[in-house]
Structure 1
């Protein structure tokens, strides 16, 4: 593992193809599915080993305050490739993936912007966009839908090809998303109601990830190897009723495990989640190795992120969708050897990956950013340069609510139910266990956060804003 990190770092440190001042960099965007921000060893997670991801962080800047535009697959992915909040397109959850994407907006999506700037563009792996959104319609050459080893194969092949233009390659991997089937199958076994019966590969991968280390007894496994429960495993004070009515009851398997899983069940979920993360890290490592062998590594911007996280047992939850930190906050690393400071960690600037990805990519590519986008380029921050007047708040949407946070407080408002407002002091309560919205001494802060969210929703023309205004 150490040798892999060292070899990747040495590859970036050595001078590869001569870099002309006017030469545009290549761009490699690596996306995982359902990986929360702490799920890398470089982020301090001691029960997972991610040498490939760590090598990117060691060569660039890791943004520790990055959030998904919406903590579920389709809305987040639509946002990343358009630069708009999902609500712009009527998206609240994966259910709206069947809606048609406006054809008039296709020329302003990522692939077309880069092609007009002189780039060769390619996309492989998971899409999960809206109807009418395909790699080709978004301006990419299509490398296929395999999001596993097959995606690493086609990316390696792409990087081995000669290129007479700078390229943008997007590799959209599926894991650690296979963890979803642990709760799905537990519920099916208990109720006799099988679900997603065609997911053979997903279940095979999950079975491998759930296996105990060879020669280790179950007792020794839980004593020495399996991750403990998180410090915020408990359901918090004054939890919003909407979390039950809109999220867990909507998906019965989520409600089932929340009520019935034992502590060992939850710990096994955490174990398998980390093994699936290591699986995708290995696939990413193959792509990085091919980039290094191509000699293009020093002239390539690498962006690594995920579409959303996983609750990972926090609050007795798994899956995603609810804007607690584990689901809404995602990994984000930007590495470009000629500019970025190796091993830097930005713990100050709030980032919305859905809004900021396109401006960042366009900045490196010298491409025009469409008028009307509210995102910001991260290029200067990734290089260690200060950006004036950076945002004070970051916003994330979800199926039944809106979330806004600043450098200390986080406010969530749901569309209905008791305790529909949540306010957390992330500085003193990072696990989001104590809802301050019900406390008299925090009413001024609550009003300030309401006002900030209302102003944001007006500024971005959120079509659903009336449901989230508290007067």
Structure 2
């Protein structure tokens, strides 16, 4: 496809954003009118999942279009990455002007990974280490406010991984989320008008700290908020009432603390939505909206107290399911208001966007383009199941694998053999574990499916066609350690 005929591409990503926290998903309180409109004008994938639900491995899946075991990282760790291609790199080679604004979260820090330019801020504080790393948001905040405090954006003192909810000490226009949107508007003003653009607008919200601007916190703390759900399979909470510390992975908060956490979380999502509205309005005013493919998703979700759990890395819907929708550009022959139940993952982002741009998809990609599903092709073959996994994390669950076909979900913990089977159609909050009913005819086919998925893995998860408990489940696969990736 000639360069001048390629659509612009806007990839919007949030961090730690649950798949059910959109108004269009029927959430009882979350206000997301701008995101709802984008989802309604394209295809919404209700069964979008993060194949490795924590920050760095999920982002590697998205940028490579490869399943976790193929790109080599199946758990949360920080190592240098030198992939043969990336989403941004392929678009840049095809003539796109590529820009990152916000969070990237790869090493080496500030390596561009195919982006022509980056406004990089992986968080609201400067990266730690022997040599302090610049954070473009924090540097901007200091330069524009004169705030001399170390890490002024987190001077509220709330943990970046905890459950404490309260209003931010910063006014709305000084937050990381507002900065991202403002930088996006600057990019749209200054971009090359003769080249298509790829803009990755990457918010860190609603990742903790759960400290939205006061107007958003007050909006939700003054409402009746839904509480957490706890399944009949969830272990009884046997620790201190509020966990061992504020960064713990298992909690049982009192009603007031839980409401404050949720008010903060929903407020952050609402803040992101309003700032997305600024960017969409700028595209519309510049006559670019109909020529732009917009894909929205998140790296993973947030348990938010469900099943007495918090944070991510878990196989359950709160952690693993993410918002996922695509608004096509004009001329792609895709209808609006389409809702798909097909199981899709972050590995499908790269092939979808390259396909939309008419660019050849690298042969190493394991994901698949969603464009045929968006066009409503009734004959398009799709995967039977999507596989996800994550190694054990400090104070979190054991290493796990999950499979879903969009209607059911099977979970297997690699170190203990613990299993779950959920009917997502009838039990979307995973309140009842069908594996506890004692009907082996239900769960055995899922064991066989997972064994088929893992049969060639170097860890030895499968022997003689059966799943094997206790095999190594490290964050990096052996072939990655030897440099073969």
TM-score (norm 1): 0.78
* Structure-2 change in CA distance of 1:311 and 1:84 (3 Å): same
Once structures 1 and 2 are overlaid, which stretch shifts more, 381-390 or 133-142?
Answer: 133-142
Counterpart check, 1:77 vs 2:73: no
Counterpart in 1 of 2:446? 449
1:424: how far off?
Answer: 1.5
Counterpart in 2 of 1:236? 232
* Structure-2 change in CA distance of 1:318 and 1:296 (3 Å): same
1:56: how far off?
Answer: 0.7
1:47: how far off?
Answer: 0.4
Select 1:65's aligned residue among 41, 44, 47. 47
CA distance in 1: counterparts of 2:385 and 2:457, whole angstroms: 16
Counterpart check, 1:411 vs 2:410: yes
Q: Unmatched 5+ residue regions in structure 1?
A: 1-19, 183-204
1:317: how far off?
Answer: 2.2
Q: Unmatched 5+ residue regions in structure 2?
A: 122-136, 138-175, 392-398, 469-485
Counterpart in 1 of 2:189? 160
Counterpart in 2 of 1:112? 89
Calculate the aligned-residue CA RMSD, in Å: 2.9
Counterpart check, 1:27 vs 2:6: no
CA distance in 2: counterparts of 1:210 and 1:63, whole angstroms: 27
CA distance in 2: counterparts of 1:412 and 1:84, whole angstroms: 21
Counterpart in 2 of 1:294? 286
* Structure-2 change in CA distance of 1:256 and 1:174 (3 Å): closer
Counterpart in 2 of 1:342? 336
Counterpart in 2 of 1:142? 118
Contact 2:206 2:269 in 1 (8 A): yes
Write the deviation string for residues 113-159 of structure 1: whole angstroms up to 9, x where unpaired: 11222211111111112x23745233442123244222111110111
Q: Secondary structure at the match of 1:177?
A: coil
* Structure-2 change in CA distance of 1:456 and 1:256 (3 Å): closer
* Structure-2 change in CA distance of 1:268 and 1:450 (3 Å): same
Write the deviation string for residues 326-370 of structure 1: whole angstroms up to 9, x where unpaired: 110111110124233222222x211012x1011101101111211
Map 1:379-418 → 2, pairs under 5 A? 379-399=371-391, 400-417=399-416
CA distance in 1: counterparts of 2:459 and 2:281, whole angstroms: 45
CA distance in 2: counterparts of 1:29 and 1:309, whole angstroms: 18
Counterpart in 2 of 1:100? 80
Counterpart in 2 of 1:466? 461
Write the deviation string for residues 187-207 of structure 1: whole angstroms up to 9, x where unpaired: xxxxxxxxxxxxxxxxxx347
1:89: how far off?
Answer: 4.3
Write the deviation string for residues 371-419 of structure 1: whole angstroms up to 9, x where unpaired: 13221101121233335221110111122111101243211111223x6
CA distance in 1: counterparts of 2:67 and 2:408, whole angstroms: 22
CA distance in 1: counterparts of 2:276 and 2:60, whole angstroms: 22
CA distance in 1: counterparts of 2:288 and 2:100, whole angstroms: 18
Counterpart in 2 of 1:212? 218
Q: Secondary structure at the match of 2:218?
A: coil
Contact 1:87 1:463 in 2 (8 A): no
- How many residues get paired? 400
* Structure-2 change in CA distance of 1:331 and 1:126 (3 Å): same
Contact 1:238 1:434 in 2 (8 A): no
* Structure-2 change in CA distance of 1:238 and 1:28 (3 Å): closer
1:313: how far off?
Answer: 2.7
CA distance in 1: counterparts of 2:32 and 2:349, whole angstroms: 23
Contact 2:454 2:462 in 1 (8 A): no
Select 1:333's aligned residue among 311, 325, 332. 325
